[in-house]
Structure 1
Amino acid sequence: MSGDQVDMLRRLLFAQRGGLPNRTSTPGLRRRNMSIFGYTVTATKRSPQPKAPLRERYPNGHVFARSFGYGLMAYISMHIFFDHFFTWRATWGPSMLPTLNASGTTVIISKYYRRGRGIEVGDMVSFKHPVQSEINAIKRVIGMPGDFVLRDTPDQGDGTMIQVPTGHCWLVGDNLPASRDSRIYGPVPLALIKGKVIALWNNWLEFPKSVQPAFQDVQDVQDKG
């Protein structure tokens, strides 16, 4: 035998005679007897330990995953709600005085009425400005397709009446002297209507107030008179 083989046998014998601690009682260790050059050698091998469940290995992982899932569901729900049902916006400008304040009034808009669905004369609507497309404005409907409306401000112009074309509406601000509306840019396509104003919110400490069409307001005044 070569010197290397002798040295290996010595180390194996040393292990067999107690040089290595007895680990048969240690969990996860397996013993196996092998015969090498006539000598019996006991070899040990550690069994693979089963991995702990993910919840034990990452105690905070399931909390994060659950929170992320709830947050994602809330985001999707809010996106669907505001994209298809309702939204709100703050008003600015004097064109709808005294119905809407120049600033500080929040209007609640129902998107059920977008593209002119269910819109009637007297409704306040939110729409994309036909000239400045980056602006969303709020005006009142005073003419629907087929209606005849006064083209100019009352007591001004020549009193010309025009008929609202198909697929359009005539929008005017309540504060005529301060409003730029259909009297300037003409009939507005119904496709530009974003929704109908259904409630006003002037104070965050109060409940929103529902909005009724202008012709209903007139009827209420006549009934009281």
Structure 2
Amino acid sequence: MLRSILGKTFRLLGYTLQYGCIVHCNFEYIGGVVMCSGPSMESTIQNSDIVCAENLSQHFYAIQRGDVIIAKSPSDSKSNICKRVIGLEGDKVFAHSPSDYLKSHSYVPRSHVWLEGDNLQNSTDSKYYGPIPYRLIRGCICLNIWPLNDFRFLCDNPNGRRFSDG
């Protein structure tokens, strides 16, 4: 009887470990569901909206201008940020910077991206901390799923006017 109980327990632990690994790999490499907080992406994404993010484009270096991405915050490694990609490496970006990072324009360095929130008056973004390394990008937001009345794809580029090709 003890052997039967131990066998079932180890089998359950083995299945739990396997499914845990599958779930982890799914969220790390394929994508997942994320709740966005803060006003920086309003009116595209509202505070507390729930979105789907895919991580494949980040792994295949397929991030494009206009994509809304999730990245590790360059100022706080424990938190994530949700911003729009305005410039890729080599692009000339124009911004009115509250910091000394930009005088009037700058080029995005190699392996970096320039990020800005859609709510320009209320966004801490590359205007403050400069371009971020590509390795900080976690995924690309593709779908707004909650609230249901705002269900839509987020793959279009409504803010393409804010960047120029180098």
- Shorter chain as denominator, the TM-score bin is 0.7 to 0.9
TM-score (norm 2): 0.79
Question: Which range is displaced more, 162-171 or 111-120?
Answer: 111-120
Shift of 1:72: 2.5
Establish whether residue 95 from structure 1 lines up as the match of residue 28 from structure 2: no
Establish whether residue 192 from structure 1 lines up as the match of residue 139 from structure 2: no
Q: Tell me which amino acid in the other structure corresponds to 2:85.
A: V
Q: Secondary structure at the match of 1:214?
A: coil
Shift of 1:133: 2.1
Q: Secondary structure at the match of 1:213?
A: coil
Q: How does 1:22-41 map to 2 (within 5 A)?
A: none
Higher relative contact order (CA 8 A, sep 6+): 2
Equivalent residue number for residue 86 of structure 1 = 31
Q: Please point out which of 125, 130, 137 is paired with 1:181.
A: 125
Shift of 1:68: 3.2
Shift of 1:67: 3.1
Q: How does 1:44-83 map to 2 (within 5 A)?
A: 58=3, 60-83=5-28
TM-score (norm 1): 0.60
Gaps of 5+ in 1: 1-55, 219-225
Q: 1:67 to 1:138 in 2, by over 3 A?
A: same
Q: Tell me which amino acid in the other structure corresponds to 1:214.
A: N
Q: Distance in 2 between matches of 1:57 and 1:185?
A: 60
Q: Distance in 1 between matches of 2:105 and 2:159?
A: 24
The number of residues matched between the two structures is: 157
Question: Which range is displaced more, 190-199 or 206-215?
Answer: 206-215
Gaps of 5+ in 2: 162-166
Q: Residue deviations 1:94-150, cap 9 Å, x none?
A: 0000111112x1122212133681011000111111122222101001111111111
Q: Tell me which amino acid in the other structure corresponds to 1:174.
A: D
Q: Tell me which amino acid in the other structure corresponds to 2:12.
A: S
Q: Tell me which amino acid in the other structure corresponds to 2:107.
A: Q
Q: Identity of counterpart residues, as a percentage?
A: 31
Q: Distance in 2 between matches of 1:88 and 1:100?
A: 14
Q: Secondary structure at the match of 1:113?
A: helix
Partners of 2:65 and 2:160 within 8 A in 1: no
Q: Tell me which amino acid in the other structure corresponds to 1:112.
A: L
Two-structure CA RMSD over aligned residues (Å): 2.9
Q: Tell me which amino acid in the other structure corresponds to 1:165.
A: P
Q: Secondary structure at the match of 1:109?
A: strand
Establish whether residue 108 from structure 1 lines up as the match of residue 52 from structure 2: yes
Establish whether residue 128 from structure 1 lines up as the match of residue 60 from structure 2: no
Q: Distance in 2 between matches of 1:110 and 1:166?
A: 23
Partners of 1:96 and 1:173 within 8 A in 2: yes
Q: Distance in 2 between matches of 1:102 and 1:71?
A: 34
Q: Please point out which of 85, 108, 119 is paired with 1:141.
A: 85
